Amino acid sequence: MRVLRNRDYRRMPWKNGGGETMEIAVEPPDASLAAFGWRISLARVERSGPFSRFPGIDRTLSIVQGEGLELAVEGYSPVMLGRDSEPFKFPGDTATIATLVRGPVMDLNVMTRRGLHRHTMERHRDVGPWELRLRATITGIVVANGIVEINCAGQKATLNALDSALIAKSSVMASLSTTRPAEIVLIEID
């Protein structure tokens, strides 16, 4: 299990220059935006506008802070995303425009190179004691809010809001617990 702290995420400009992203993890390590196999990141969206295009990439987005945004993806009906919405998957190479609802948001992005990797993203609210059976090559846990205790293969860690853990498939179970309700985003990458 690799524990990743919010304060240590690599900060970098968006591909289109319209903002800043906090890279949680990328494979291969230190890969450029044109060469990654998969990537997990947070982005603070402070104004409405177009998303960067990523040819050959499948992308899933979930709002973790703020009131939300409307996402208009070419070929899809517009979708309203908020903290209570399920993650939205769309092709990264398609024209996409975000319109903020009421002020800035923080979104969580998972991107995988089509034909090389695939991913899923699920939100879990009011997480209490949970035995999580690990199925994917890489399992990512991002704490959207609250504090989560995680125990995997004898390694224990406390994750605060926006902290993460990446777990390789060699582990089969992870235990999650909280002292008060918390929300996590579960990411599986194969």
The CATH code of domain 121-189 reads 2.60.120.10
Element (H, E) at 190: none
The arrangement of secondary structure in 8-116, i.e. its CATH architecture, is: Sandwich (2.60)
- Say whether 121-189 and 8-116 share the same fold: yes
Per-residue pLDDT of the chain (190 residues; tens, 9 = 90+): 999 999 999 998 777 666 789 999 999 998 998 999 999 999 999 889 999 899 999 999 999 999 999 999 999 999 999 999 999 999 999 999 999 998 999 999 999 999 999 999 999 987 778 898 899 999 999 999 999 999 998 899 999 999 999 998 766 889 999 878 899 999 999 9
Q: Where are the domains of the chain?
A: 8-116, 121-189
**Beta carbons of 60 and 88 less than 8 angstroms apart:** yes
Tokens of 40: 């997990």
